[in-house]
Amino acid sequence: MKAIKVELPEKLAQELEAFVKEGWFRDEVAAIRYALAQFLNRYRLQLTEHFQREDIAWALKWKEAKK
């Protein structure tokens, strides 16, 4: 499994800690893992489309610059 270090704004860290203390998650790692999975599942299509549009725009600019 890959480890990632994350720095959070204080308010977000406090909210995360509250979820754990209230028993919603066993620890902060589980909460972050769940949140990230939900984000990716919900926005996968929009993110893919966004980055494809950026790539197309870059390619068109590059093509014009070569002329």
Is 80 exceeded by the pLDDT of residue 67?
Answer: no
Distance CA 9, CA 16 (A): 11
pLDDT of 8: 96
Lowest mean pLDDT among 1-10, 17-26, 32-41, 57-66: 57-66
**pTM of this structure:** 0.66
CA 25 to chain centre: 19
